Amino acid sequence: MKLENAKLKLPWLEATIILACLFIIIGMGIIHFKMTPHMPILGGVFFLLLYGRMKGISFSAMERAMVQGATSGLGAIYIFFLIGMLISSWMASGTIPTIMFYGFEFISGQAFYAVVFLITSLIGLCIGSSLTTSATIGVAFIGMAGALDLSLAITAGAIISGAFLGDKMSPLSDTTNLASETVGVPLFEHIKNMLWTTIPGFVVTLALFFFLSPQSSGSKVQEIEDMVTALSMYTTISPWSLLPFIIIGGMALKKISAIPTLAAGIVSAIVITFIETPAQTVKEMSDVLYSGFVLNSGVEQLDTILSRGGIQSMYFSISLVLLALAMGGLLFELGIIPSILHAIQKMLINVGRLVSATVFAGIGVNFLAGEQYLSVLLPGKAFQNKYSELGLEGKSLARVLEDAGTVVNPLVPWGVCGVFLTQVLGVTTLEYAPFAFFCILCPFLSLISGWTKMGLHFKK
């Protein structure tokens, strides 16, 4: 999807009105009528098809645009399939139960949310993938929060804040590399420059999670003991079960791409399952990978926490992502997003306006196209020359793209990350979004930086 390929050249006011109508359709459906996101998104697609036909665009051209939009998300869809199998295989092999078991030894309810944020930040930084971090250690933390009777929404917010902080700052992250490559900035120079907004965001987020965490866990000691006992009785608890997690971390550190890394995590978990559970059959393992792991311990809380994963569990996410990306394809084909981006460029007469426009463009692309990479790529290409004209170095643009692109996608109910995280963590986007403090703070910190010029670098 490129800006110059749009079929229509719309006045910015008309494009804005169409966008407003689209947001009303989607917002009313999801927020007011509490519908699953699929139907409001599909309603938005029908609305755009009708508008496009009224403007003289053939249905065949719009269908091609929808297919092109959906095609841009195929890489994410393959990863969704693999992560569904990863979760179910890690349940069967005891990887996630073992992480929970040992986690209860060291983590109590006291300062729980702050600890979750710190650990997921570190793991996200090490492996460079927010989605993998959330789907592995994040699932374990959600299970622990359930056992401790703590807020799942706040826990999910802590997981997502940490995972995306780590992803944003990791040299292994695809979005971090994309931002630096888009504007031609050396990778580690880009990472160093992001500290201007990342450090304040980290400090404020950590303080908020520490404040929200329960300061006493004495009343939960019995629940923790009961959960540890149940884990040891009904699941596989073994240091060997941690091997898949170690393999994924090692392969990520060696910069091996996501698909072979996830595949190695799945295969190693399957091998451990057969070793630890000799009675397991190939057919049963196949069913676990497709339909998900189901625990029948008789302990309701434990069964609820650990019965999850599988390819089938990803169908909701995949179908929503395809619809959202198809809608994004239409928005480009009909010239709606290009018209607004071109109109914005004419008003960028100072640094504050330029940074603000980049921030809102990144957020807008996330909400309209639902795609994290496009939210970095499109504003980067659209505003790169303007940054140069106003004397700003490319790394200033790269940082803003990460602050308003990379970390905003999990806040979008129909975005690729938002859909995935809702499915994996079992907490809806609207529930966890108010507590994803780091993701919320980053765009605001970029705006402050733009208007105060703190942290911006000008050409000498």
CA distance 203 to 12: 40
pLDDT given for residue 348 in this prediction: 81
pLDDT given for residue 3 in this prediction: 53
Model confidence pLDDT, tens digit, residues 227-261:
788 889 999 999 999 999 899 888 877 878 778 98
Nearest-CA neighbor of 83 among 222, 219, 248, 229? 248
8 Å CB contact between 303 and 230: no
CA distance 80 to 209: 29
Q: Is 279 helix (H, G, I), strand (E, B) or coil?
A: coil
Alpha helices in 94-194 (DSSP H): 95-106, 112-127, 130-133, 139-147, 152-169, 174-183, 187-193
pLDDT given for residue 108 in this prediction: 64
Tell me which residues of the chain have a pLDDT lower than 50.
Answer: 219
- The one-letter amino acid code at 255 reads K
pLDDT given for residue 349 in this prediction: 79
Q: 420 — phi, psi (to 5°)?
A: -60, -50
Q: What is the value of pTM for the model shown?
A: 0.84
Contacts 24+ apart (CB under 8 A), 32-35: none
